[in-house]
Amino acid sequence: MVRREGYKNRIELLQGTLDMLILQTLSWGPEHGYGIGQAIRSGSGEVLQVETGSLYPALHRLEKQGWIRSEWRASEHNQRAKYYQLTAAGKRQLTAEQGRWNQLSAAIASLMHPGESEGQA
């Protein structure tokens, strides 16, 4: 209830987008759940806030699908943490989702700014 207030000026993530963002984040290298959340947040200029209630289910779902795998290792502060990393299948999935995302954002952009897209065409 308390946290709701803080979210009002942030953008809710589109369904399915979170998976792509996680895969994208992991394409830089292995990362733990907390790190992934932080990376998305800072990478989006504090606009995108990933709720833990979405992040962890997403991570476990992606792992079950075989796009990422996990292992336990020590963090930079010598804290045992579960690190996720992309699998080969995950890399292919990321490429596919990027393509789809580009199409989608171009399509939305052309709808939102009809003049520009006409000019380009």
Partner 1 sequence: MSMWLWFRRGRRDRELDEEIRAHLAMATRDRVERGEDPRAAEAAARREFGNRTLVEETTREMWGWSSLERLWQDVCYALRGMRRSPGFTAVTLLSLALGIGANTAIFSLVNTLMLRKLPVEHPEQLVEPSHRFQDEPHFNTFSWRQYQYFLAHNHVFSDLTGMSGINYDFGAFFHVRDRGPEAERVGGVCVTGNFFPMLGVRPALGRLLGPEDDRLNAPGPVAVVSWSYWKERFNLDPAIVGKRITVDGFPVTIAGVTARGFRGLILDSPEDIWLPLAMLPSLAPGRSLEKNGNVMLVGRMKPGVGIGQARAEMAILFKQAVGEGPAGRERSFLSAMQFEMESASAGLSRARDQFAGPLVLLMGVVGLLLLLACANVAGMLAARGAARQRELALRVSLGAGRWRLVRQALTESLLLSGSGTLLGIGVAWLGATALVRIVASGRERLEIHPVPDAHVLLFTAGLAVLTGLLFGISPVLHVWSTAPAASLRGAGKGGDTRFGRLLGKALVTAQVALSVGLLSVASLFILHLSDIYAGLGFERDHVLLATLDPSRAGYSRAQLARPYQEILERLRALPQVRSATLSRVTPVLGAGASRDATVEGYQDRPGELRYLSENWVGPKYFETFGTPLLRGRDFTFQDDGGPRAAIVNQAMARHYFGDGNPLGKHVTFDGDPKPYEIVGVVGDAKYIDPREIAGRIIYFNAFQEGHLFPRFSMRTRGAPAAVAGDFRRIANGVLKNAAVERITTLEDQVDATLVPERLTVTLSGLFGALGALLAAIGTYGLLAYSVARRGNEIGIRMALGATRRGIARMVLGESLGTTCTGLAIGVPLGYWARRAAAGLVPDLPVKGAAAIAVSAVMMILVALLAAYVPARRATRVDPMEALRYE
- Binding range to partner 1, per CB under 8 A, among 16-24, 30-38, 40-48, 92-100: 30-38
Q: List the one residue from 75, 95, 102, 103 that touches partner 1 (CB under 8 A).
A: 75
Q: How far apart are CA 44 and CA 100, in angstroms?
A: 20
Among 71, 79, 111, 115, binds partner 1 (CB under 8 A): 79
Chain-centroid distance, C-alpha 81: 20
Instruction: Count residues binding partner 1 (CB under 8 A).
Output: 21
Among 32, 26, 17, 9, CA closest to 90: 26
Could you tell me the smallest distance in angstroms from the CB atom of residue 85 to partner 1? Answer: 15
Query: With contact defined as beta carbons under 8 Å apart, do 51 and 7 qualify?
Result: no
Q: How far is the CB of 92 from partner 1 (least distance, A)?
A: 21
